[in-house]
Amino acid sequence: MAGTLLFSLSACSGKKDPSATNVPPAQTPQTAPSDNLPAKLDMNAIPLAEVEKMAKIIEADPAWFQQIKDKAAVGNVPVPIQLKDDARFFLFEHQAEYGIVQIPEDVIQIEIGNIKADAAWLESVGRQAKERGITLEESLRRNALYVIDQRLK
């Protein structure tokens, strides 16, 4: 009976068989060489002028600013300090999207190409553009920068 439970462990090795892909070669996402991506700045290296601009953006959003106030109250931290800390952290997490680090244009174009190659993703980006009142090209660029930002993390 024990012999009937034997099976090939190599089939369960967790390694993907390159020939067993559902993505046609023409739609395989491209990845920009990692040496083209800039190093992510240290959080304390985010320029103060950018932090102050982001703080003003947060203050202009009542719900977001209220979250900062609540966080400051819980931590017993003055609101202006909590605001700058959160603005700095936000910019640290979204460096490519907000232009804190410069991403080479060829890297951005590769990501835009990946979005355009995926019909569902492109449709989603098109809906975002309409909802936000921006062009499809601007929405593509923003989404590409978001993907690049995620890779920098």
Nearest-5° angle of CA 8, CA 10, CA 15? Answer: 145
pLDDT given for residue 50 in this prediction = 84
Tens of pLDDT, residues 96-142: 667 666 677 888 898 899 999 999 999 999 999 999 999 999 999 98
- The mean pLDDT value for 24-43 works out to 52
> Whole-prediction pTM value?
0.49
Pick the closest to residue 27 from 121, 142, 150 (CA basis).
Answer: 121
User: Is the pLDDT confidence value at 41 over 50?
Assistant: yes
Taking only the tens place, the pLDDT of each residue in 53-99 is: 889 888 888 898 999 999 999 999 999 999 999 998 888 887 766 76
pLDDT at 147: 85
Query: Using 50, 70 and 90 to split pLDDT, how confident is the model at 21?
Result: very low
Q: Are 95 and 152 in contact (CB under 8 A)?
A: yes
| Phi, psi (degrees; rounded to nearest 5) at 126 | -65, -40
